[in-house]
Structure 1
């Protein structure tokens, strides 16, 4: 989708579709009033009669008298007193779906009238660019059928009262870049596990590195062994697909400045191993690599916008399969850190690959490390599918991520990491057990990871409930690319 910014009188624009805004209780917004004057009050009369009250409702009016556009679409923002960031996102999401389903050729959105949500034009443009482009996302599934003709509006002009500045243009470009990153993350998640293998993830990283000129190093199984990643290797034992450890180094910030490290769980299919999962719904375990996918998507977003920051991406990737040589419950393995782990449940494998990657992260002397993982079903029980779980060993880092999550519409909620929970991970046969039992399952998973993050500021995002949807809307969501990208944008400005 192509975006641009213009300053123009809305009623004079020759466009396939002109979008204006209205409040259900206050009527037309300022830019729409010029259309009403041109139509001699007809627009206001039709809006009062036919536009529904709730935010996101749409009224389509072809050939409005006195207006050059072929069609005028009025977007309801709900009641003015209730207008906030959520209402803005609801309205833009509905508009994006409408535009994605119709080939209007080009469209123009009167963007100035959307500003009251934040009082911040760049924030509105960033949100609009992200949501409108994300609404146009389509996964092209393998099929014997001929690909249907592409439908949807391909170009949108954002109409402002005054000429835009660099901040406005950059924000719109950032929103589009975030949506591009989300699209990559969604594509990777939606691909079947026989296509999106650890090798495929590594090749995707290498293509990004070549396209955007950053360094990518890929370790094969022998390389992983040389790194003494015994915990990671224990998960790979039953798999025939070769594992990969992917290292991406995006160094566009100040030379020598401490980087941010993102660590993404890359289990490309999770059977549970010997601790086999139930068959119902197991097909969705192709989404167990969405943490890795979100790191790749975030790298695409920041590289596309040319963000001036040093960022490292670490992706340990393998399948978790049952086999005669697979790791068994009760086995003890030695992690890269030297700590030994009693594996009581082979379906708690994500933490076993992440802990070695988190130890590897120490070599970068990072400013902060954030790991992202579809780690625990317990997080879905606690927070549902709306909010990601967050744990951290640094309260300031946790607050920073919570704040940017709100700003990005990609929220997280902090769970405690009290020392008392660590007792659940005691083992009679190793330094630590890989599970702590049913109580506080998400928290004890975070406690396990915290044992490997004592050298730096660290946060953990459990995205088990937010990385994909089930049912009729089944598919990857692209989260938490918006949260991660906004976090990095803010760090680049600091």
Structure 2
């Protein structure tokens, strides 16, 4: 059941609720205290100021302070969350604040939540709606009995410090839909692989397309072979669960300003194939379809936003398994665009399915082509688990993607397409080897993908291997699948619409 969100003007300490969260700008306790803190101190009969001093709470980012109401206000607990300097707060910080408020409600087993927005946050209501959805996310589908949560958050009331703008409800509702779209990607990535096969992933895309009035094509295995998507065929042929290729599209009612095409890697489980992975950590390979899951969530968001931009999303879905029909190291396979590829390691399967998907996408002649994938461990070695790496083949593409990142607040770092490493992809028996040496592995993977974008002038590749999942809740991300990338892609689309 979706969260019920509302915004109103009210005295927050007069609202009956399980939890009340105040956003607090940074302040100097030796000078003027925020009005919210004064009001709560008065309602609780004093003592709060001493606690503030003891805990050194001054409203800095990441600071929080929790106090029980003890029957002195119609709320069970009051939480203060620091927002930092007012001048520095934009959508990403607002989204994080709202997510933390939601997470506090989940931790408190609250059914109702009041979030008090200080003056200034009424300019960021869409980010508030996004954050509350992202912060209250939980994947509990398979929990039963005592493991299943007994309570769930049902209502959230936002109280604006100043009069809420006329479009407040609309902005919060749109933010909620975008947050739900990101949560959909999280759900898909968290699904176990015995449930989410390539066909099932394609089926989820069909549900989103139907609900959003989007066009969709799904190629089954026979159609993939007929179309000449040989590399996707190679990766998927070792599994009893046949591969799928998905193309979702949105066309605005007015003449589109631009055409943006997105591509996602959808390996629903990756054993490594013949080059089988070690057992330790293999269970995490259910998340190897996070790039494709992002495509489903992205198009759900596009259906909600309805931008004046033509948007296409493609998913190359397969399961990489080592049966008697599996592709092998040393094989040579043709690709959709005609180049022959020598297989070096079957555990580098993601770039193969993306190669055919990019060749297909390039035929649409997009103004910008973006792919995303949990592609290489080398990117995690380079940037850690909280940043993804991205590459661009033009300054214009890099400029637009950088601006989208700044707006979204997601953590990505531009990596170089080092031309000297291109020699590592030379093969004695085919046009290309599909991987190079261990050193610079994320870069050579990007260089390999670039071979399949045809005449596309503006292309971005995002290697999201690290932050696609998290081992703990931080910011607006939960433990488990994060949906990393969707907010940036949404920002990129809205940027193009302007």
* TM-score using structure 2 length: 0.89
Task: Judge conservation of contact 1:88–1:114 (CA < 8 Å) in 2.
Answer: no
Moved more, 390-399 or 71-80: 71-80
Q: Specify whether residues 102 and 415 from structure 1 end up closer, same or farther in structure 2 by C-alpha distance, changes over 3 A only.
A: same
CA 1:62/1:143 → structure 2, altered by over 3 Å: closer, same or farther? closer
Select which of 484, 489, 496 maps to 1:491: 496
Query: Which residue in 2 is equivalent to 1:445?
Result: 445
Structure 1 position 295, deviation (Å): 0.8
Following the alignment from structure 1 to structure 2, what is the Cα–Cα distance between the partners of residues 314 and 477?
20
Tell me, what secondary structure is at the counterpart of 1:364?
coil
SS at match of 2:453: coil
Cα RMSD for the two superposed structures: 2.8
CA 441–20 in structure 1, closer or farther in 2 if over 3 Å, else same: same
CA distance in 1, matches of 2:126, 2:460: 25
Structure 2 residue 28 is the aligned partner of structure 1 residue 26:
yes
- CA drift of 1:167 comes to 5.1
Partner of 1:247: 247
Q: State the partner residue of 1:118.
A: none
What is the CA distance between 1:168 and its match in structure 2?
4.1
Shift of 1:373: 0.3
Is 1:48 matched up with 2:36?
A: no
Counterpart of 2:116 (choices 87, 94, 110) is 110
Taking the TM superposition and a 5 Å limit, the aligned residue runs for 1:193-204 are 193-204=193-204
Shift of 1:321: 1.1
- Counterpart of 2:460 in structure 1 is 459
Quote how far apart the aligned CAs of 1:326 are: 1.4
Greater CA drift, 138-147 or 245-254: 138-147
List alignment gaps of at least 5 residues for structure 2. none
State the 1:89 CA deviation: 5.6
Instruction: Give the direction of change, closer, same or farther, for the CA distance of 1:72–1:468 in structure 2 (3 Å limit).
Output: closer
**1:333 aligned to 2:333?**
yes
Q: Distance in 1 between matches of 2:296 and 2:389?
A: 20
Once residues 298 and 448 of structure 1 are traced to their aligned partners in structure 2, the CA distance between those partners, rounded to angstroms, is 25
User: In 2, Cα distance between the equivalents of 1:47 and 1:395?
Assistant: 52
Are the aligned partners of 1:39 and 1:64 in contact in 2 as well (CA < 8 Å)?
no
Q: Which residue of 2 aligns with 1:163?
A: 163
Show the counterpart of 1:477: 482
Q: Aligned residue for 2:64? A: 57
Q: Which runs of 5+ in 1 are unaligned?
A: 116-120
CA contact (8 A) 1:411 1:483 kept: no
Residues 56 and 95 in structure 1, CA contact (< 8 A), matched pair in contact too: no
Q: Which moved more, 1:435-444 or 1:40-49?
A: 40-49
Measure, in 1, the Cα distance between the counterparts of 2:126 and 2:51. 28
Distance in 2, matches of 1:80 and 1:50, equals 21
Question: Is 1:5 the counterpart of 2:7 in the alignment?
Answer: yes
Aligned residues: 485
**3-state DSSP of counterpart to 1:275:** coil
1:75 aligned partner = 80
Distance 1:339 1:22, change over 3 A: same
Q: Deviations over 1:428-450 (max 9, x none)?
A: 11111100111210011000111
* 2:362 paired with 1:355: no
TM-score, normalised to structure 1's length? 0.89
Q: Secondary structure at the match of 1:324?
A: coil
- CA–CA separation in structure 1 for the residues paired with 2:135 and 2:81: 18
Q: Aligned residue for 1:35?
A: 39
Distance 1:144 1:131, change over 3 A: closer
Cα offset, 1:39, TM superposition: 3.8
